[in-house]
Chain A
Amino acid sequence: MTGPSDSPVRLHVVTGKGGTGKTTIAAAMALALAARGQRVLLAEVEGRQGLAQVLDVAPLGTEERTLVTDPSGGEVVGLSVDAKTALLEYLQKFYKLGRAGSILEKVGAVDFATTIAPGVRDVLLIGRVYEAVGRVTKGARKRPVFDSVVLDAPPTGRIGRFLNVNSEVSDVAKVGPVRNQADSITRLLQSPATAVHLVTLLEEMPVQETLDAIDELGTLSLRVGSVIANGVRQPLLADEDAAAVADQDPRVHESLEAALTAVGIKTGPALVAGLLQEGVDHVERARLQAEQHAILQALDIPVHALPHLSDGVESGELGLLADVLAEQEGL
């Protein structure tokens, strides 16, 4: 277990193929960091309230709110970043726009900038996160307000574009403060203070998407902190047994019947055949999972495996995932 300042990483960006567990893992990661005594900001940017559901708290707002306090003194603060609010805050801060902001809103300029102008929206969203990472306490001894920030980011299909604010903006804004802001954001994202974590299942498609994302992030000079293999199932059969089951060795059939009889279960052909078929499927899934795991381990990136929770995340087993993450090096 490490203290608040052991890792240089301040911003954890959690992405992955849709539905692989990004939101769940982002929440678990924030809990793991808070358990080390850190003050953590946990943010979502798509307004889906996924984090609130996973943590079972009231919907997150556009204002930061403490969600969880840890006995260690750590704490998780939640935020749902909203492009419109971010734009108005930004205009207020830099231009003291006041009432003009509402005129902008009335003529549809705010809508235009936040939902339509490509790229601008992403700069606003990630700009808000950037601000939180850099925010320091008031007073003489300035220290960061948040020890780390965990971002439940868009899926791998969009992550390159999302994080590549610079080029997105350079298409539309060649000079001006938005451009300058984009440059500062890019500096943070490319520095050792940022780590992108790729969540995947040990299945072919998500693993392929993970590999593609690693390539893409590499070309953008973004650092992949880890690959998180989520929903990993424990193989239940020993290797030599697995081989015998997969080969449909007749001895498996015999020993199963004998065993069932020994514990007083009335066997029939349907029961035995059913159990054997389930065994074959299980072995096949386990083999596929091991294959995909091996592909990831051949990469030069730490791979963390998180177990499949058979009762689902709602059952309060999120802490279990947080515990596993807390033990990982380099987080």
Chain B
Amino acid sequence: MAMRGSTGAYTNGTRLMVDARDVHKYFHNNEVLRGVNMQVLRGEVVVVIGPSGSGKTTFLRCINHLEKINRGRIYVDGKLIGYRETGDGKLVEDSERNIAGIRAEIGMVFQRFNLFPHLTALQNIIEAPMQVKGIAREQAEARGRELLAKVGLAQKADAYPARLSGGQQQRVAIARALAMDPKLMLFDEATSALDPELVGEVLKVMRQLAEEGMTMVVVTHEMGFARDVADRVIFMDGGIIQEEGAPAQMFSASSNERLRTFLGQIREE
């Protein structure tokens, strides 16, 4: 692996939105990520698939430093995530403020929505823009209503999460992430907690985002979505990337035994 100094090849002008190099992650003695290398281009939609426990969620959480990595480096838009490089090439943990600043540019959508239950849909959306970015209330609200309309929930601005269906909650969560104007959106099984009839409305919003050119890393079991929307599909298993390629090639022409077994299991479900 090539060393990169702080003034190295990656600047904000790079075409790479995500550049993960040799990422290792342990939970105690359990090595969950065993050297993940992944590059995501600006505007690209990458879908990550793989069996349960293969490390998909963990990897996604490393990208915005909700998990600390034990080895390797992750750059987002040219910025090293979670660490600072000292003069002699060593890594030290970055300040909380800097980490927060980088996270503010990365949207994340969780499997369980994680809406703030004490706030209405609109309040959920304007909270971070106002508190983190210091945007004035009127502006934040105007933008918030715009985003609610975009996800088809203009009527639900004043509803509390407990009064929304799962699909509606997840769409609010997407709007909440978008309100920070992220460069990159991370989706962790955004539809897995939903009743089957509610999956479509969330996928539709995600498709629309992809069409608008948002850079997205999407962990999902929705193979239809992967086939239609992904520019590239990545198959993770056992903490490493086993195979990656265009959807068509991955879903029909792969010679990787593990991938074919995995796809076989998915189809049976």
A is bound by B:
no
Which B residues lie at the A interface, using CB under 8 A?
A: none
